[in-house]
Structure 1
Amino acid sequence: MIVDPLSRQDDGITLSSRLASAALQAQSVRMRVVSENIANADATATTPGGDPYTRKTITFRQELDRASGVRVVGVRNIGADKAPFGVRFDPGHPGADAEGYVKVSNVNVLVEMADLREAVRSYEANVQIIKFSRSLSSMTIDLLRNS
């Protein structure tokens, strides 16, 4: 059962900070996964018939933040992309098969860059939410102090 956030002891400012904090953690993991994919985009098989680096994917889920009673975003799974590997003709490569082809990673750098841009923008938006929440808290304290 989900508790109504308005009936909790926490105020809206604290709840928004907790939600944004969870989103920051999820986007941080997403940026790490995307960065790893980009770093390994040029990977090739090292042995004949072997597989190169496989693109990693990330999925999210809603999870209950027990402290606040609201659902927040979290990482569900870091998996492997099932897209096929590319091949490149390079008969002198140590990972080349009998026909001279080497498997190359299934990472598309353009897709990864777009995903990274989206993750960074989401991260920045959540940082702004936390900054705004802190500003509202400061203004509330100032108002209480001056009354």
Structure 2
Amino acid sequence: MDLKSSIGVSASGLRAQSLRMRVIAENLANQDSVARTAGGDPYRRRVATFKAEVDRASGATNVTVKSIEGDKSDFPQIYQPGNPAANAQGYVRRPNVNGLIESADMKAAQRSYEANLNAIEAARGLTMRTIDLLK
């Protein structure tokens, strides 16, 4: 694999993990959001999924975003009869966002992002050493 392809693969990983971190940040920002109307659905957690895509020109496999889908898990309910978002039984549906899971996902996305940055830096370093040898 040549330098341009290796940097391109790492750059696609950077874009994918950056989007993943934005989705996670959105989930964390809305973890306390409830429905605007009584008995309505609150914020639904979103998850980014990726796929490998082969670049026919270079033969490299890049990472692309397949989709950003809502988590299908149930909404937890808490009893708050005075809340405007409560249903007829007095229960308020809460977002299906767990802060601990989101924090762990964020840490994993950060590590993947850093790994891609390190790969780009290593490719740059090898290029610089090659240029120094050619002088």
TM-score, with structure 1 as normaliser: 0.87
Aligned to 1:90: 80
SS in 2 for 1:63: strand
Q: 49, 60, 63: which one pairs with 2:50?
A: 60
1:33 counterpart (13, 23, 29): 23
CA contact (8 A) 1:14 1:133 kept: no
Percent of counterpart pairs with the same letter?
50
Q: How many residues align?
A: 135
TM-score, normalised to structure 2's length?
0.95
For the Cα contact (< 8 Å) 1:40–1:53, is it kept in 2?
Answer: yes
Instruction: Say which of 104, 119, 126 aligns to 1:129.
Output: 119
Cα distance in 2, alignment partners of residues 68 and 119 from structure 1: 26
SS in 2 for 1:125: helix
Q: CA RMSD in A?
A: 1.1
Structure 1 unmatched ranges of 5 or more: 6-10
2:108 aligned residue: 118
Task: Return 5+ residue gaps in structure 2 as ranges.
Answer: none
Q: CA shift at 1:71, angstroms? A: 1.5
Work out whether 1:141 is the aligned partner of 2:134: no
Amino acid at match of 2:73: A
Kept in 2: contact 1:59–1:75 (CA 8 A): yes
Structure 1 counterpart of 2:134, one-letter code = L
Give the C-alpha shift of residue 142 in structure 1.
1.1
Moved more, 94-103 or 76-85: 94-103
SS in structure 2 opposite 1:47?
Answer: coil
Larger radius of gyration: 1
- One-letter code of the match for 1:63? E
Secondary structure, in 3 states, of the residue corresponding to 1:93? coil
Runs of 4+, deviation exceeding 6 Å: none
